[in-house]
Amino acid sequence: MYKHYIRVDTEGNVIRAFSDAFEQPEPGDLLVTEDGGRHFNLDLWYNGVIPRWHVEGDDLVERTDVELAALWEQYQADHAPQLTEVETLQLALADTYEQLLTAQGDATSAQVALADLYELTLTLQADMVALKGGVS
């Protein structure tokens, strides 16, 4: 027979469960049973982050589905989803594309202004030729 232990954090949440067949207890670990099987595997985590079990006094208590759902909702509110590297690059690319479109619009406006100036220059040049009597 093997002894089963749990390890709790400072808030009483069970963060590890093991038997002495594979691991020796540390100070502060709590004995659950002295006559357990070789393996002791509690389902410790809800959605990988919320402790499913906690200790109240001398009792090992499993949180209800309602409690777990509320804790999960709070966790999601506190931990907004992070963008992946690809999503971050896609946003940067979209921003760069918008800047390119703006620059392209500015360049087109500059080209139109230069064409207008060129036409004015040609008109002015023609007027000067006419004033000089047709001699260039």
| Per-block mean pLDDT, blocks of 10 residues, the chain (136 long) | 96 97 95 95 95 95 97 93 88 92 89 89 88 71
Q: Are residues 14 and 70 in the same domain?
A: yes
- Report the C-alpha gap between 63 and 74 in whole angstroms: 15
Q: Are residues 64 and 6 in the same domain?
A: yes
Q: Are residues 14 and 45 in the same domain?
A: yes
What is the reported pLDDT for 73?
A: 95
Q: Are residues 7 and 72 in the same domain?
A: yes
Q: Are residues 131 and 88 in the same domain?
A: yes
Residue 61 bridge partners (DSSP): 54
Q: Is 119 helix (H, G, I), strand (E, B) or coil?
A: helix
Q: Are residues 124 and 95 in the same domain?
A: yes
- Tell which of 42, 58, 78 closes a domain: 78
Q: Which domain holds residue 122?
A: 82-136
Q: Is 118 helix (H, G, I), strand (E, B) or coil?
A: helix
Is the CB of residue 9 less than 8 Å from the CB of residue 50?
A: no
Task: Look at the block and give the residue holding tokens 């594309």.
Answer: 97
Task: Look at the chain and report how many structural domains it folds into.
Answer: 2
pTM: 0.58
**In 59-108, beta strands by DSSP E:** 59-62
Of residues 21, 25, 33, the one with CA closest to residue 8: 25
What is the reported pLDDT for 136?
A: 54
- Tell which of 78, 94, 110 closes a domain: 78
Q: Are residues 69 and 99 in the same domain?
A: no
